[in-house]
Chains A and B, each alone.
Chain A
Amino acid sequence: MSEEILSGRQRELAAAATAAAQRLRTTADRTVGRPAEVGDLFVLEATSDFPVEWALLDRRGAEGPFLAVPGDSHPFLGSRDLEVGTSTGLLTLRCQAGLWLEPAAFEPGLRVGTLEPGDLERARLKVREVAQRGFTPDPFLEETDLSPEYEEWMRDVVQPARAAAGSLGAAETFKPAVQPPGRPLLSRWLAAAAIFILVGSGLAVWVLRQNRQIERLAARASSSEAALSAERGRREEAERTAAQALKEREEQAGELQARLSALESRVEASPQPLLNPPVAILQPAEVLRGTAAKSYKISAAAPVLTVVLKFRETEIYPAYRLTLTREGNAEPIWSTDGLERSAEGVQLALPRRYVPPGRYRLSLSGLRSGRAQPVADYELAITR
């Protein structure tokens, strides 16, 4: 049997790929070892489940946190996005999803490129423009903003990646509060509790998202593999590969779950009780029609706001989905499918960083057989 060889066209394309790889390697070699700087691109271990990179657009002071904006190669570009040139090719920055991260988050070994200098300034301008109150979507790109594919990408990839990065230690969230004189022990405990709970919550979100990501990738992979195997009889090999990948993911998820449990148990085992925790008991907006949402104050010392959602007793489902959205924003801040009903309704503790002062909408749906049924919407106002 004669051995197959590459055709002229195939050889040409393979050579283009090799040349591109060599070029990238040369560029990368120039930046080895130097610490993170504005204009750099990084991947993060914490967001390795998502195909995103982080562009550093700004820094607070010489040693302060970086403003990091996620970027990816999804072909859709919406009103709040910007395509930029980088040393490693084009990247689409999702400018509404930036956050401040401590320098320690960026390992020099995970630097993957740099922004083109002109594009750095364009990106900063875009971030500022998007953050402005009253930002108007571009009519030329509005079609993409409303595209289900785009919304799905933002919901399933960009927002979870942002949440996972946030769990690393966003500067605002993880800077220990200044200790008031005379209460060192309590304050220290509260700071520690806040860190444990926030890290725990972050990991919980991450684990949930990771499980979804695993299911999604596995479903995509397996559907492609199954179709292929029908044609080429490679089912066994495909299944082995998918099973191995799934196993690795499950092991990773299990390990994270164990870490989460350990953190939770440390919080539970804390020697001091948490005094005067804020609690918001919310009635559905339709019940309160015509009255303003009640405001809740969360003191700097309180790590979480406990929320109890009341609803009709007839709305019984095996599980509930909750989506938290800030007023004026289309993108949810956070969402979970993991809620269960108790005698009091549905209860959860929201980390303070999820609900800075402002107005929020909480949408609760019942889940049965993979389908979501709206149950109630709630309004929540947070003041300082």
Chain B
Amino acid sequence: MGPLFTQYLRSLEGTPDERLALAVWKRLREILKSELKKRGLWYNPPSYLGIFGWSTWSEAGEGALEELVAECYSFIFVDRLGRLLAQLRAKPNVEGLILLNVHHFFLERQKEHDPLGYRVFEMVQAAARQAVEQGELFVLSGDPQVRNSTVLGFAPDAPEDAAPASLGSLVARWNDELLPDLVMARGRRQEDVWLKLRGFFRELESQGILSFRFRDVLDPLKSDTRLRWAALLGEGEEGGTPERAVRKVLPETPVESQESLEKLTRYMSAAVSRMPMDPRTREYLATLWQYLRFQVGASEAAGSLEPLAGEPGDLERSSHRRISQLLGIPRERLPGLFSTLRQLASKAQLLARSGPKSRPRSSRREAG
């Protein structure tokens, strides 16, 4: 039998073959399950990938996994079919491209539904790569681009098996100094965070740790960041919370609106670029928007999706002090910025729904 996915793609242009479709489905299921484990997602809630209604991947006959396969199938064989068939014109097979698309599927999903986790991954990975380039760390095994399973050491000949089983308690303390910049630093300010992270890596050595697996640093830092950020959601004043402010700008999360925040960001970017405003205001809007995205992602991943009641006008005001402190935006500017973002988001959502390019992005298990 030839390459399965290529064969299936070719069959779509001629006579559809049900047995082939079934084989593709099963194969995709295997690949996704394997990827979930490889990426350390198997023991995280499916909501981190936008699959709602299940608390684990393994419950109820792996129903969440089946849902993920459906989403991924649609991502590859419906949404990107044109791209794949195009490549098939110039290549004998596209098996490698299917795996690449699975990688892209995970990227998009993680960034969209677990933005905090993805952000922490990117920041820690960038810092680790810098440390490797500067000769502070050495790749002892695994992908030199630094992935979950890469083992890093403080000397080229450090023993790989010196990696301790758990670094959780050590690493979680890093956030005392890293937050909120680990999440919110933008542009060149990110370099300060990478420097701090490199300093924390070096501290591991001074504590007698000769090598460590990248994942063993990343996972506890991700978990701690999610916890602390979720706590921020409940830290409002006078009964209001930043989350409520978020809801007022984005009355519907992607789950309800069927439109991704990534796409909304693109609409917002285009809309803001057309508006006459000074660079500082533009910067404030971008910072506030980034903050709102992380808040929505954090609450969505935590499963707190109940629509919030409350009349417009009184809620966001109460959380402005907190947001102002976190983002370094003058408090008196926040009402105006929220108002601008609210108008733009409403327009963007309308545009996204009416436009021909919108497509379902998130899945939720049917109630009952």
* Distance between A36 CB and nearest chain B CB, rounded to angstroms: 14
Within 8 A of A (CB), among B96-130: 96-97, 99-104, 107-108, 111, 122, 125-126, 129
Find chain B residues with CB under 8 A from A147 CB.
Answer: 122
B190 touches A146 (CB 8 A): yes
State whether A139 and B74 are in contact (beta carbons under 8 Å apart), knowing that A43-B86, A73-B83 are contacts in the complex: no
B13 touches A13 (CB 8 A): no
A224 touches B89 (CB 8 A): no
Q: Is B145 an interface residue (CB 8 A)?
A: yes
Q: Is A18 an interface residue (CB 8 A)?
A: yes
Q: Is B272 an interface residue (CB 8 A)?
A: yes
State whether A74 and B22 are in contact (beta carbons under 8 Å apart), knowing that A53-B86, A110-B90, A148-B125 are contacts in the complex: no
The answer for the CA separation of A21 and B77 in the assembled complex, in Å, is 9
Q: Is B314 an interface residue (CB 8 A)?
A: no
Determine the interface band of chain A, counting residues with CB < 8 A from chain B.
35 or more
State whether A148 and B122 are in contact (beta carbons under 8 Å apart), knowing that A112-B86, A142-B187 are contacts in the complex: yes
**Closest A residue to B355 using CB positions:** A85
A140 touches B83 (CB 8 A): no
Interface string of B119-145 (1 = CB under 8 A from A): 000100110010011010011000111
**Closest A residue to B14 using CB positions:** A21
Q: Is A159 an interface residue (CB 8 A)?
A: no
Find chain B residues with CB under 8 A from A369 CB.
Answer: 156
Within 8 A of B (CB), among A76-104: 76-77, 83, 85-91
A75 touches B262 (CB 8 A): yes
Q: Is A63 an interface residue (CB 8 A)?
A: no
Find chain A residues with CB under 8 A from B286 CB.
Answer: 139-140, 142
* Residue in contact with B34 in the complex, picked from A17, A91, A227, CB distance below 8 Å: A227
Within 8 A of B (CB), among A101-120: 109-110, 112-113
Q: Is B338 an interface residue (CB 8 A)?
A: no
B22 touches A371 (CB 8 A): no
Q: Is A315 an interface residue (CB 8 A)?
A: no
A373 touches B90 (CB 8 A): no
Q: Is B81 an interface residue (CB 8 A)?
A: yes
Q: Is A241 an interface residue (CB 8 A)?
A: yes
Q: Is B269 an interface residue (CB 8 A)?
A: yes
Find chain B residues with CB under 8 A from A14 CB.
Answer: 16, 18, 21
* Distance between A212 CB and nearest chain B CB, rounded to angstroms: 12
* Residue in contact with B70 in the complex, picked from A13, A48, A91, A152, CB distance below 8 Å: A13
Within 8 A of A (CB), among B281-301: 282-283, 285-287, 289-290
The answer for the CA separation of A10 and B71 in the assembled complex, in Å, is 11
A48 touches B91 (CB 8 A): yes
**Closest B residue to A41 using CB positions:** B86
Q: Is A44 an interface residue (CB 8 A)?
A: yes
Find chain A residues with CB under 8 A from B145 CB.
Answer: 152
**Closest A residue to B128 using CB positions:** A148
Give the A-B contact count at a CB cut-off of 8 A. 179
Find chain A residues with CB under 8 A from B287 CB.
Answer: 139
The answer for the CA separation of A237 and B34 in the assembled complex, in Å, is 17
Q: Is B368 an interface residue (CB 8 A)?
A: no
* Residue in contact with B108 in the complex, picked from A47, A75, A91, CB distance below 8 Å: A75
Q: Is A4 an interface residue (CB 8 A)?
A: yes
B85 touches A24 (CB 8 A): yes
**Closest B residue to A142 using CB positions:** B187
Find chain B residues with CB under 8 A from A258 CB.
Answer: none
Interface string of A9-27 (1 = CB under 8 A from B): 1100110111011001100
* Distance between A91 CB and nearest chain B CB, rounded to angstroms: 7
A139 touches B186 (CB 8 A): yes
* Distance between A288 CB and nearest chain B CB, rounded to angstroms: 23
* Distance between A108 CB and nearest chain B CB, rounded to angstroms: 11
* Distance between A333 CB and nearest chain B CB, rounded to angstroms: 20
A112 touches B89 (CB 8 A): yes
The answer for the CA separation of A221 and B5 in the assembled complex, in Å, is 13
B22 touches A6 (CB 8 A): yes
Q: Is B95 an interface residue (CB 8 A)?
A: yes
**Closest B residue to A213 using CB positions:** B96
Q: Is B276 an interface residue (CB 8 A)?
A: no
* Residue in contact with B37 in the complex, picked from A21, A24, A227, CB distance below 8 Å: A227
* Distance between A29 CB and nearest chain B CB, rounded to angstroms: 11
State whether A140 and B77 are in contact (beta carbons under 8 Å apart), knowing that A217-B96, A373-B135 are contacts in the complex: no
Interface-facing stretch out of B25-33, B196-204, B238-246, B321-329: B25-33
A143 touches B108 (CB 8 A): no
**Closest B residue to A223 using CB positions:** B38
Q: Is B207 an interface residue (CB 8 A)?
A: no
Within 8 A of B (CB), among A316-343: none
* Distance between B65 CB and nearest chain A CB, rounded to angstroms: 13
Find chain A residues with CB under 8 A from B313 CB.
Answer: none
State whether A76 and B107 are in contact (beta carbons under 8 Å apart), knowing that A6-B18, A89-B80 are contacts in the complex: yes
A4 touches B91 (CB 8 A): no
* Residue in contact with B103 in the complex, picked from A43, A143, A220, A374, CB distance below 8 Å: A220
B82 touches A86 (CB 8 A): yes
Q: Is B73 an interface residue (CB 8 A)?
A: yes
Find chain A residues with CB under 8 A from B96 CB.
Answer: 217, 220-221, 245
* Residue in contact with A20 in the complex, picked from B81, B104, B122, CB distance below 8 Å: B81
Interface string of A214-247 (1 = CB under 8 A from B): 0001011101100110011000000001000100
State whether A43 and B87 are in contact (beta carbons under 8 Å apart), knowing that A17-B78, A113-B82 are contacts in the complex: yes
B87 touches A88 (CB 8 A): no
Q: Is A248 an interface residue (CB 8 A)?
A: yes
Find chain A residues with CB under 8 A from B195 CB.
Answer: none
State whether A51 and B97 are in contact (beta carbons under 8 Å apart), knowing that A10-B21, A17-B78, A228-B34 are contacts in the complex: yes
* Residue in contact with B99 in the complex, picked from A5, A83, A88, A221, CB distance below 8 Å: A221
Find chain A residues with CB under 8 A from B343 CB.
Answer: none
The answer for the CA separation of A107 and B63 in the assembled complex, in Å, is 46
Q: Is A370 an interface residue (CB 8 A)?
A: yes
Sorted nearest first, the 10 A-B pairs with minimum C-beta distance are: A88-B82, A139-B286, A112-B86, A140-B269, A21-B12, A48-B90, A89-B82, A227-B34, A75-B108, A17-B77
**Further 19 A-B residue pairs, CB within 8 A, beyond A13-B70, A138-B273:** A16-B78, A18-B16, A20-B77, A20-B82, A24-B85, A48-B90, A73-B104, A75-B111, A89-B82, A89-B83, A112-B82, A139-B287, A140-B272, A140-B289, A142-B187, A149-B122, A220-B96, A369-B156, A371-B156
What is B's interface to A at a CB cutoff of 8 Å? 3, 12-13, 16, 18, 21-22, 25, 30-31, 33-35, 37-38, 70, 73-74, 77-83, 85-87, 89-93, 95-97, 99-104, 107-108, 111, 122, 125-126, 129, 132-133, 135, 138-139, 143-145, 156, 186-187, 190, 262, 265-266, 268-269, 272-273, 282-283, 285-287, 289-290, 356-357
Contact sample, A vs B, 17 pairs, CB 8 Å cutoff: A10-B22, A10-B25, A14-B18, A21-B12, A43-B89, A48-B90, A51-B97, A76-B107, A85-B356, A109-B89, A110-B90, A140-B265, A140-B268, A141-B265, A146-B187, A148-B129, A149-B107
